[in-house]
Amino acid sequence: AQKVTQAQTEISVVEKEDVTLDCVYETRDTTYYLFWYKQPPSGELVFLIRRNSFDEQNEISGRYSWNFQKSTSSFNFTITASQVVDSAVYFCALSGSGGSNYKLTFGKGTLLTVNP
């Protein structure tokens, strides 16, 4: 069975601070995919990144960066110089590959509040 744990339920920071959202996963699959989605107050889930299990290279996209470490089964997300518009619920998710394995297993989400 697959499992995603986001231990941080809520995080509150002041604008311009850096913040890291933690994600730990469990899976028996050798091929799997990890995702991060952002859900602003409007409700729509916005795709941020996908990583496959064979690519441990860290990625940076603007103020966003992701650290994937298979050794610790973690896929952490860092926002540098946070802004008020970053306030949202962030979900980490996991899927396998092939057939019904493409279903996403979501973590419980982390509510990030960035205060001016």
Partner 1 sequence: GAVVSQHPSRVICKSGTSVKIECRSLDFQATTMFWYRQFPKQSLMLMATSNEGSKATYEQGVEKDKFLINHASLTLSTLTVTSAHPEDSSFYICSARDDGGPAKNIQYFGAGTRLSVL
Residues that bind partner 1 (CB under 8 A): 33, 35, 37, 42-47, 50, 91, 95, 97, 100, 102-104, 106-109, 111
CA distance 61 to 43: 23
Cβ(66)–Cβ(52) under 8 Å? Answer: no
Query: Which residue number, 25 or 107, has a Cβ lying nearer to partner 1?
Result: 107
Closest CB 105 distance from partner 1, rounded Å: 9
- Give the nearest distance from C-beta 110 to partner 1 in angstroms: 11
Which CB sits closer to partner 1, 18 or 97? 97
Query: Three-state SS for 3?
Result: strand
Reference 66, options 79, 54, 76, 81; nearest CA is 76
Q: Which is nearer to partner 1, 82 or 109 (CB)?
A: 109
Cα–Cα distance list, 52 to 30, 33, 57, 78, 110 (Å): 10, 4, 10, 18, 22
| Residue 80 or 101 having the CB closest to partner 1 | 101
Q: How far apart are CA 21 and CA 6, in angstroms?
A: 8
